[in-house]
């Protein structure tokens, strides 16, 4: 089999899953909606298919994946901490399978609890009643682009409307509707007036709570409408606990938590480490990481607003015995890998949302490290996506 690309990896997982046993669909939209690709196959077969294909991917990259397994989500439904519902051409829903510009109008969605979906839908319906036009991605006209749902483990909701512009008085009407919905603690107005079709935007105003409390283990981390957080409410704590156990810092160690976001991994690392540098390039997330450390009364987490490469270039060789990385889909890249090889931590824990870029990075790092752990986490049931954690230890003779 030739090396995988993003397209061929997805196809391999899809083909393997579809060869599994069929089951009755829970959602009437599942066959056409892009939110769920595999809902018509048993969840056991989904996890088995991902395990088989990813073993092949890592093995072809020269990585021993003989013991590789994928940890299943405790519940493959109502698992998401974030959903971005599209509003366009009088439809409220998600993109169709393979059709970016076609939106499936949803009457229900099993990726979040029914009350959360109903709250988002109520805001959209109120916008229609107020005569606010949906945004058209072809003509770049209209107003309302997305309704975003952020959901906590306690089923509290932070909603956001992403618009192409707007009037504050009208948005206050939407905010009143949002805050009247069960579980909604806050509502944001985000503006994206660019041609780029993304569900993030500049904060124009908020009503109610400005943050959402995400409880993970002994800690509570607050997030905003734009900040990154792991998107499986049932599996996030398992992934973080496994990453911290693999890092195994002790009370003498300075640890780097790279691409640290709002500090959730850093807080857990700080229970054992002497100091944790939580490095993040997004200023909003760094500010929240500061607040989260204070609110959780953790004094040895130090949020740093910096690009990961720049931070690493400033660290002396041997200064970081343990490093945890959780990069975006683009991965670490050659330059960051080279800096890690120069600094030479004894242990690297690499959490990845993109196995393809992780394989490339691991191939660079294997010149000085051996991979002692490799495990998948099914953070996105019913889709081809898998999170993978690799544990690397520096070779004894290096």
Going by C-alpha positions, the residue among 77, 10, 78, 79 that lies closest to residue 50 is 10
- Taking CA 121 as the corner, what is the angle to CA 112 and CA 170, rounded to the nearest 5 degrees? 135
* Closest listed residue to residue 220, CA positions, set 154, 130, 286, 175: 154
Say whether 204 sits in a helix, a strand or coil.
strand
DSSP helix/strand/coil, 325: strand
Element (H, E) at 11: helix 6-18
The angle subtended at Cα 43 by Cα 41 and Cα 44, nearest 5°, is 110
Strand partners, 161: 147, 189
> Up-side HSE of residue 2: CA atoms within 13 Å toward CB?
4
- Token digits for 145? 């682009």
User: How far is the CA of 182 from the CAs of 41, 57, 95, 157, 258, in angstroms?
Assistant: 32, 44, 26, 9, 37
**For residues 143 and 130, what is the distance between their CA atoms, to the nearest angstrom?**
12
Whether the Cβ atoms of residue 164 and residue 88 lie closer than 8 Å to each other: no
Calculate helix-pair angle for 355-365, 6-18, nearest 10 degrees. 120
Classify residue 375 as exposed, middle or buried by CB count within 10 Å of its CB (0-12, 13-18, 19+): middle
Residue 305 tokens, joined: 């607003």
- CA nearest 294: which of 326, 323, 319, 262? 262
β-strands 99-105, 144-151 pairing: unpaired
Contact by Cβ (8 Å): 314, 279: no
Of the residues 33, 221, 337, 353, which is catalytic? 353
CB 388 within 8 A of CB 54: yes
DSSP state of 37: S
Structure tokens at 48: 């088995």
Please indicate whether residue 353 is annotated as part of the active site.
Answer: yes
Distance CA 130, CA 91 (A): 16
Q: Which residues are known to be catalytic?
A: 353
């Amino acid at each position: 089999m030739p090396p995988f690309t993003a397209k061929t990896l997805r196809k391999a997982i899809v083909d393997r899953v579809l060869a599994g046993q069929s089951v009755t669909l829970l959602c009437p939209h599942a066959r056409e909606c892009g939110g769920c690709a595999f809902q018509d196959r048993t969840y056991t077969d989904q996890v088995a298919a991902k395990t088989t294909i990813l073993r092949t991917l890592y093995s072809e990259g020269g990585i021993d994946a003989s013991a590789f397994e994928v940890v299943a989500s405790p519940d493959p439904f109502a698992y998401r901490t974030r959903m971005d519902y599209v509003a366009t051409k009088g439809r409220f829903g998600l993109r169709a399978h393979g059709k970016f510009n076609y939106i499936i109008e949803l009457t229900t969605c099993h990726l979040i609890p029914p009350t959360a979906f109903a709250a988002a839908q109520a805001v959209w319906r109120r916008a229609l009643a107020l005569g606010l036009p949906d945004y058209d991605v072809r003509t770049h006209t209209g107003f309302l682009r997305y309704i975003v749902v952020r959901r906590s483990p306690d089923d509290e909701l932070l909603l956001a409307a992403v618009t192409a512009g707007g009037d504050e008085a009208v948005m206050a009407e939407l905010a009143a509707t949002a805050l009247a919905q069960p579980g909604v603690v806050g509502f944001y107005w985000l503006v994206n007036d660019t041609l780029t079709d993304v569900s993030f935007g500049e904060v124009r105003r908020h009503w109610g709570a400005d943050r959402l409390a995400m409880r993970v283990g002994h800690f509570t981390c607050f997030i905003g409408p734009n900040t990154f957080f792991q998107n499986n409410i049932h599996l996030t704590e398992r992934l973080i606990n496994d990453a911290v156990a693999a890092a195994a810092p002790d009370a003498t160690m300075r640890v780097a938590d790279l691409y640290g976001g709002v500090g959730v991994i850093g807080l857990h690392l700080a229970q054992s480490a002497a100091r944790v540098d939580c490095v993040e390039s997004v200023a909003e997330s760094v500010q929240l990481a500061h607040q989260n450390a204070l609110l959780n009364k953790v004094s040895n987490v130090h949020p740093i607003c910096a690009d990961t490469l720049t931070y690493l270039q400033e660290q002396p060789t041997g200064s970081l015995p343990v490093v945890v990385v959780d990069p975006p889909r683009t991965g670490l890249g050659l330059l960051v890998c080279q800096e890690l090889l120069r600094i030479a931590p004894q242990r690297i824990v690499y959490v990845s949302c993109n196995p393809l870029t992780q394989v490339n990075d691991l191939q660079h790092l294997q010149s000085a490290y051996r991979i002692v752990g490799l495990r998948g986490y099914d953070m996105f049931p019913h889709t081809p996506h898998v999170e993978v954690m690799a544990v690397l230890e520096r070779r004894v003779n290096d």
